[in-house]
Structure 1
């Protein structure tokens, strides 16, 4: 394979590798390094060849969905089973074998930081830090008086 040649990266094998790089969570700069090109060349290829752009988008989409699912799981909390094992020597045969010694269901409590992050991004109209409040009408209560006599300074 001639590394860095766009023709290879347009082939089915090349496009599959590009998708895999993106799915692995690599940045465009890291992908360019793997292709043995500079990032600006990768950006140009993405503009010129929709196949390359689509392969990278497709790969990144899979990882984004996995991260979204993990964030939501962490925000809501979950339970999991923890299984511990230990090596035991069989008295009759003398062989060492692996035995399950304990299975415990553990709970991960909901994470407020994950909840805040989720809500600020999914419901910014209700949860962002800065709220836009619009006021219509006049503000009352202040009277400006221009005819107040000035004190005599002589």
Structure 2
């Protein structure tokens, strides 16, 4: 690795590439590979050069927001229009010439129901106190156990087992 290779990544062009790769969903390992360095070197550069770290965070934040929005949309359900188009002919208003275009022939509004798996995932992560599988239960007071063998010695217990 050439000394000072980080300089090219601190330029506006280099930072734009890093942000784009992060926005595209590449992992740090893939980004490091694209940069021609090893992952530990990228981690070191992120610590040493705030521009690199901030740029990668900014790029990842964009795609994270898109995924969050898609998850929420899927959890709640949504409507969309399904449009059918077929080739058709229209007259150009300026020239009077006939042009081939795709003409909308049918539009149907469809509904996608909310997805319970997406809802559960969202709630477990956003409201873990109420929705996580593991619940913390506290007990106060005492538990009374009636153990008829509690006062016996080890030898007495062995004799009971042997004589059965």
Matches of 2:151 and 2:5, distance apart in 1: 82
Instruction: Please give the per-residue CA displacement for 1:106-127, whole angstroms capped at 9, x wherever unaligned.
Output: 1010000100100110111111
Q: Bigger radius of gyration, 1 or 2?
A: 2
Number of the residue aligned with 1:71:
71
CA-atom RMSD, angstroms?
Answer: 2.6
Number of the residue aligned with 1:144:
147
Matches of 1:99 and 1:42, distance apart in 2: 51
Gaps of 5+ in 2: 91-96
TM value normalised by structure 1: 0.84
TM value normalised by structure 2: 0.79
Q: How far off its partner does 1:144 sit?
A: 3.2
Asked whether 1:129 is paired with 2:133, we answer: yes
Number of the residue aligned with 1:82:
82
Judging by fraction of residues, say which structure has more helix.
2
Asked whether 1:11 is paired with 2:6, we answer: no
Q: How far off its partner does 1:88 sit?
A: 3.9
How many residue pairs get aligned? The number is: 148
Structure 1 stretches of 4+ moved >3 Å: 93-97, 144-151
Distance 1:22 1:95, change over 3 A: closer
SS of equivalent to 2:80: strand
Instruction: Please give the per-residue CA displacement for 1:71-123, whole angstroms capped at 9, x wherever unaligned.
Output: 00100000011111012468xx9974422110110101000010010011011
Asked whether 1:20 is paired with 2:20, we answer: yes
SS of equivalent to 2:82: strand
Gaps of 5+ in 1: none
